[in-house]
Structure 1
């Protein structure tokens, strides 16, 4: 495996990928990509599995189609696991967020949810890394676990560095507390049977294949075992369907899921808003922190160019979550810019180039080779 391509590097949120042309005995495999973990990457979501390759291998054994194959290349000293490269471009390049999908594309996404619903937790018992005693057993516990993760592993971890920024933006842990509004809503959830969840199904992780225009699903890093309604909420939160198409998706999702996993659509109308409220709050903490690291890594000469983008992102997510955050008024774009500018002056400089790299919010892969 050799010959790097003219644009061989794909930078994702969790790994940096090298795309290479297979040669010799491997030539029939076409292009391959091999990933390495980005140093110092911050985790904003819980993980059920040690790595994506374990998930993909198990899915392939279960007959899942249109996912990247994983190959084990055995060398003299060790084993390298590489992915097949899906030739095509992200759905986001063809249908940007806010635009409608075709009927075929919508049907393929609903079918994917249906296939995941048939995969029971026991099918991944060998690669599931969470101790059984700590795994949630109900939908209520599942959402409570997500809230607790965001409170402890996202807010609390970054608070020492970003205390002044959080204060200036008027966001704190109350909304994430064990007795806060999200937890109170979680206690009202209907129970649904668990299955495998993709955890990050959006337009950048759906690849339109060059060969036949069908959708392939990539980036299974955040796969979970849990409530299927969470996967739907994450999908809706990230996809930004037009309202009419979102309603059509919900109807098809409910029919498909009930057939594949009876009871998985129970309480849909009541519980979907509860998961969406969590996703909006989670986005506030995640994007405030990500943008802080991105600003921190910006050279002074480029700060005036970066800050408007940061303001747009942060103001957008805070506006969507304002009710659950208990904000009478969302901080204005001017006050958000002032908060980040002040934090930039007082924050310690990035410790290394790796810190700047980890803040990059590029898509999982660029459009096309």
Structure 2
């Protein structure tokens, strides 16, 4: 029996069992996915196919669900379990045994180097800086945010961006703020390790899903992204960082070099990136006539105020509008642009 569609952010997923060669039903279930209509991509993608990448990583990253091929179509095994986010919501500490498995995942990622991973890539040559060029790596991410998130949506969202206090000059401030990173040898990055992409099975084993944003690059960027998305308590973030440093250095010497200075800068980039993506998402998510539990302007104004406050330093913002002013700006945008059906556009 087919189960689905199961809603994810980027895909609708269908889950089903497969019979073995003798025709007997298997206890394992498999999944296939289709992109959701009206999909918003706010992150640069590197590899041509997630399934091809996972096939190449078989035996190297042990927390990846299995891959099988049926009629030329590669399917991923469906992990029976719950997301880490369902077990431990954002801000709560992660149990020690699971945290050790997260560190183990980082160990395996650090061992996958650019020269040992042969998979078709979709990104252009200019988006592939040489291993060690951490400044070039981050510049490509900044440029993607500037060109494919901010500029490509400026016609629709210019007044809203202005009302919340950001414009093209903020990218000049951001580049200046995050410059001067230490060189580090590159490795494979998952680049989207948050609680909903970590599945805990009934045996308390941790599995890693949704590798579509994976890339080759600065290992410290993967840690920064993970810390930003996970929202660990401060004491656990410090503990994980210490374990990450020692683990990565064992596998990829130099992979943590300069981390005390650079980790904060990479976290600042993630905070800045969030401003541009979340302003668009907030505007598009407002309910025309929100009922109980709907996305109300006041609620979204408070959320964007927190995000802008976090990013004020890297973006060079002298002040951040109050939550009610941001809510008013969202309402104005909806009245002037939302009724026309304007949506967001992002690059590949």
Identify whether the pair has TM-score above 0.5, normalized to the shorter chain.
yes
Give 1:168's aligned residue: 163
Query: In 1, are the aligned partners of 2:272 and 2:311 still within 8 Å (CA)?
Result: yes
Q: In structure 2, the residue corresponding to 1:35 is in which secondary structure?
A: strand
Q: Tell me by how many angstroms 1:350 deviates.
A: 6.8
Question: Among residues 4, 18, 21, which one is paired with 1:22 in the alignment?
Answer: 18
Query: In 1, are the aligned partners of 2:174 and 2:316 still within 8 Å (CA)?
Result: no
Give 1:139's aligned residue: 134
Give 1:286's aligned residue: 277
Q: In structure 1, the residue corresponding to 2:51 is in which secondary structure?
A: helix
CA distance in 1, matches of 2:243, 2:98: 13
Question: Among residues 112, 128, 131, which one is paired with 1:119 in the alignment?
Answer: 112
Q: Tell me by how many angstroms 1:318 deviates.
A: 1.0
CA distance in 1, matches of 2:123, 2:316: 33
The superposition leaves residues 242-282 of structure 1 with CA deviations (integer Å, 9 ceiling, x where unpaired) of: 11111111111100000010000000000001101100000
The superposition leaves residues 119-143 of structure 1 with CA deviations (integer Å, 9 ceiling, x where unpaired) of: 0112333322334454112001001
Query: In 1, are the aligned partners of 2:282 and 2:300 still within 8 Å (CA)?
Result: yes
Give 1:198's aligned residue: 190
Q: Tell me by how many angstroms 1:30 deviates.
A: 2.1
Give 2:29's aligned residue: 31
The superposition leaves residues 37-70 of structure 1 with CA deviations (integer Å, 9 ceiling, x where unpaired) of: 123322211111122112211111x432121222
Query: In 2, are the aligned partners of 1:49 and 1:223 still within 8 Å (CA)?
Result: yes
Q: Tell me by how many angstroms 1:348 deviates.
A: 4.2
CA distance in 2, matches of 1:26, 1:243: 50
- Show structure 2 runs of 5+ residues with no match: none
CA distance in 2, matches of 1:334, 1:303: 20
Superposed CA RMSD in Å reads 2.2
CA, structure 1 residues 273+4, in 2 after alignment: closer, same or farther (shift >3 Å)? same
- Show structure 1 runs of 5+ residues with no match: 359-369
Query: In 2, are the aligned partners of 1:229 and 1:265 still within 8 Å (CA)?
Result: yes
State whether structure 2 residue 83 is matched by structure 1 residue 90: yes
CA distance in 2, matches of 1:92, 1:309: 22
CA distance in 1, matches of 2:338, 2:244: 47
The superposition leaves residues 292-311 of structure 1 with CA deviations (integer Å, 9 ceiling, x where unpaired) of: 2212xx34354993123322
The superposition leaves residues 9-37 of structure 1 with CA deviations (integer Å, 9 ceiling, x where unpaired) of: 22222211112233463732522211011
Query: In 1, are the aligned partners of 2:134 and 2:181 still within 8 Å (CA)?
Result: yes
Query: In 2, are the aligned partners of 1:144 and 1:186 still within 8 Å (CA)?
Result: no
TM-score (norm 1): 0.86
Matches within 5 A, 1:188-267: 188-210=180-202, 212-267=203-258
Query: In 1, are the aligned partners of 2:16 and 2:29 still within 8 Å (CA)?
Result: yes
Give 2:94's aligned residue: 101
CA distance in 1, matches of 2:144, 2:271: 15
CA, structure 1 residues 218+126, in 2 after alignment: closer, same or farther (shift >3 Å)? closer
CA, structure 1 residues 20+299, in 2 after alignment: closer, same or farther (shift >3 Å)? farther
Give 1:305's aligned residue: 294
CA distance in 1, matches of 2:293, 2:125: 49
Give 2:152's aligned residue: 157
Q: Tell me by how many angstroms 1:90 deviates.
A: 0.6
CA distance in 2, matches of 1:269, 1:132: 30
CA, structure 1 residues 195+19, in 2 after alignment: closer, same or farther (shift >3 Å)? same
Q: Tell me by how many angstroms 1:144 deviates.
A: 0.7
Query: In 2, are the aligned partners of 1:311 and 1:336 still within 8 Å (CA)?
Result: yes
Q: Tell me by how many angstroms 1:101 deviates.
A: 1.4
The superposition leaves residues 210-250 of structure 1 with CA deviations (integer Å, 9 ceiling, x where unpaired) of: 1x111111110100100000000000001111111111111
